[in-house]
Structure 1
């Protein structure tokens, strides 16, 4: 009996899929998840029927688009949890997660369960929250994280970070890094007021610094 050959996509189908994913990444990053599917098809230069054949629902498209970010988020949390100093690991998680989300507005929306049907994103969120909860308990036991910290504060941080909108990704990331610095000082049990990352130039006309 002859073994059945594995199913493979034709090159044109692969090209269509890649164009759809590239278009969706660009639009989701800039405008969030409310972008219509027809606009994604238009940007990808494919017909709506082609888009829905590859991705029957927006949830399946969201899952495919943010697969790399979900893996990156897990890697960040795993790295933080592996640090023998739980407070240092916790701070690194805050810094890197804020930066990851600053690059992509759509990922933050997906991560915050705007699209709970995107199963892999929802699973990544659950994994992240549970892992950070364990890391936070260790940092509290070490006396470094304030005792009244709760996981809702992490969600509040992500909601606030999502509100940072600037003219360029580079400025947005810089602003997010400084925001993370303020957040870490707010979370610390005995703030030491370490130097903050450089300020992002957000005001149209910023006053001269003394």
Structure 2
């Protein structure tokens, strides 16, 4: 009987953890990183003590919640760098990053250093910016990217993008696509 009880408790704990991560993902996506841990616990249907037992800090929870988005972001920039035409790769990175960020305000905030002390997010940020810097260098050399483009322009773009309005995910996606198109035009070299 003790073995059965122990197994059911572990299964219950795993279910609680999953509900916490799902609730945090939804809330971070919709409201950003300002959502409280108490609200995450409430939405997950667990008590604050249960939440803190699994995730002692909001930073720990953010790392867990954004693990898949970090992987996708790495893939986005690596795919852009692998594109034979550097301008096409650069444009794809802008479009896909905007698309990803339209889905989660919280991820954009975390990327823009809401939690700069988190090694996982700091390493991700450094990798992403390093790849974009290399891609930008190639696109400048091809004459298609403005010669005065800097990584600060990308950060500025991401900061502005996180304010994309929209009552529904579809409206946010549409606005995000328009924002990406306008950004790409602003970054295009003028002949």
- What range describes the TM-score normalised by the shorter chain of this pair? over 0.9
What TM-score, normalized to structure 1?
A: 0.85
Query: Does 2:15 align with 1:15?
Result: yes
CA contact under 8 A between 2:165 and 2:175: conserved in structure 1?
no
Greater length-normalized contact order (CA 8 Å, ≥ 6 residues apart)? 2
How far the C-alpha of 1:123 sits from its partner, in A, is 1.4
How far the C-alpha of 1:122 sits from its partner, in A, is 2.0
The number of residue pairs the alignment matches comes to: 183
How far the C-alpha of 1:133 sits from its partner, in A, is 0.2
How far the C-alpha of 1:111 sits from its partner, in A, is 0.6
Distance in 1 between residues matched to 2:159 and 2:25, nearest whole Å? 20
Distance in 2 between residues matched to 1:170 and 1:114, nearest whole Å? 26
How far the C-alpha of 1:190 sits from its partner, in A, is 2.8
Query: Does 2:85 align with 1:96?
Result: no
Q: Structure 1: where are the runs of 5+ without partners?
A: 1-8, 192-210
Higher helix share: 2
Query: Does 2:30 align with 1:36?
Result: no
User: Deviations for 1:58-98, whole angstroms, at most 9, x for unmatched residues?
Assistant: 11000000001111000000000001110100000000001
Give the ranges of 4+ consecutive aligned residues of structure 1 lying more than 4 Å apart after TM superposition. Answer: none
Secondary structure at the aligned position of 2:154 is classed as helix
Secondary structure at the aligned position of 2:113 is classed as coil
Aligned residue for 1:126? 126
Q: Structure 2: where are the runs of 5+ without partners?
A: 1-8
